[in-house]
Amino acid sequence: MSKDPNQLLSILHRMWLIRAFEEKVSDLYARKEVLGLIHLGIGQEAVAVGACQALRRDDYVFGGHRSHGHAIAKGADPRRLLAELAGRSTGYCAGKGGSMHIVAMEAGFVTATGVVGGTIPLALGAALVAKQKGQGQIAMVFFGDGAAQAGHFHESLNMASLWQLPVIFVCENNGYAEFTPLSAHTVVPRLANHARTYSIPDVTVDGNDVLAVTEAVERAVQAARSTKGPSFIECLTYRLRGHYEGDPAKYRELSELSDWKTKDPIQRFIKILKDRNLVPDRAIQEAEKTGRGVVEEAANFALSSPWPNPEEVDSQVFAPN
């Protein structure tokens, strides 16, 4: 990727915005202002930002259950996102979806899902539409290592390759599916190898290095836009929080957690920026403050927004009345 300082700063801003957002969600959850099951992506910001950095606004992105960061990275409005998590009528789904059902169509974030790997086949549908429209749009789907063990993951890889669909599979291998380590749920430790079975080009990258993710995705995007079909990118990363908010995470060693803390993707990127003198120090310092300011404003917006009208409980939902 180019070393344009504005582009580098925008990457840093986005990562801080996501980190600040997730920390605010954790805080609001503890205060019971945000309800439901909450999965945070703290520690995985480089994947979301690096991958979406290479996309156009009209490209389609699909997430999963840990997708606040994916939505923000694609350009979703943090105010409407936080309002959704707080169950308010100004939220993306009028407060009826919550954390795992984010839809931000204006930003090209098509949907998240609580069904593990459930959006993988959906991304193929978007890619098929994009291919038929012929305007260079592409689809991208984020999923975890656990999702890669699902049958529909394999069916989707097969179909994407067979039909040469412009879809990029981004596997966030954070080493755990819920409380189960990778070694206990597959005999295939390098998940990108699955792509080879279906003749899809693959790469495994350090998912805590935002520039490595960006470079891999840029290549995949170029291929997808020039009708060369799907790509698979496995990003090795780690979640610094439990599986869900409130998870005591007793299934992993504290030494493992502290080791990964030293690989924090934001601090690593800051080190690169400073060591190589790529952007002014002052701008680096400002980035965190800016992100936290945006999130503070989003929280004020969300918590001062009205609750949904109880009479509308069965509108906009797929439920019999």
Ligand X SMILES: Cc1ncc(C[n+]2csc(CCOP(=O)(O)OP(=O)(O)O)c2C)c(N)n1
Residue 133 Cβ, how far from ligand X at the closest point, in Å? 30
Q: Per CB under 6 A, does 66 bind ligand X?
A: yes
Residue 5, helix vs strand vs coil: helix
Residue 36 binding ligand X, by CB under 6 A: no
Of the listed pieces 6-14, 47-55, 140-148, 191-199, which binds ligand X according to CB under 6 A?
Answer: 140-148
Q: Kindly tell me which residue out of 30, 35, 115, 162 binds ligand X, with binding defined by CB under 6 A.
A: 115
Does residue 241 touch ligand X according to CB under 6 A? no
**Contact residue for ligand X among 67, 119, 156, 174 (CB under 6 A):** 174
The smaller minimum CB distance to ligand X, of residues 145 and 202, is found at 145
208 binds ligand X (CB under 6 A): no
Contacts of 241 (CB under 8 A, 6+ apart): 22, 26, 40, 42, 43, 247, 249
In 208-279, which ranges are E strands? Answer: 231-236
Return the bridge partners of 204, or none. 234
Work out whether 65 is an interface residue with ligand X (CB under 6 A): yes
Q: Which is nearer to ligand X, 52 or 294 (CB)?
A: 52
- Tell whether residue 146 is a contact of ligand X (CB under 6 A): yes
Contacting range for ligand X; rule: CB under 6 A; set: 6-14, 47-55, 120-128, 174-182? 174-182
The continuous run of DSSP H or E covering 113 comes out as none
Q: Candidates 17-25, 142-150, 203-211, 226-234 — which segment interacts with ligand X by CB under 6 A? A: 142-150
Q: Does 176 bind ligand X (CB under 6 A)?
A: yes
Q: How far apart are CA 216 and CA 40, in angstroms?
A: 24
The 3-state DSSP class for residue 300 equals helix
DSSP 104: B
74 vs 112, 124, 234, 236, 315, CA distance in Å? 13, 18, 19, 21, 27
In this structure, how many other beta carbons lie within 10 angstroms of the beta carbon of residue 61?
32
Q: Is residue 145 within the footprint of ligand X (CB under 6 A)?
A: yes
Does the footprint of ligand X cover residue 114 (CB under 6 A)? yes
Three-state DSSP state, 200: coil
Three-state DSSP at 108 gives coil
Choose between 252 and 292: whose C-beta lies nearer to ligand X: 252
Contact residues toward ligand X (CB under 6 A) are 65-66, 114-116, 143-147, 174, 176-178, 243
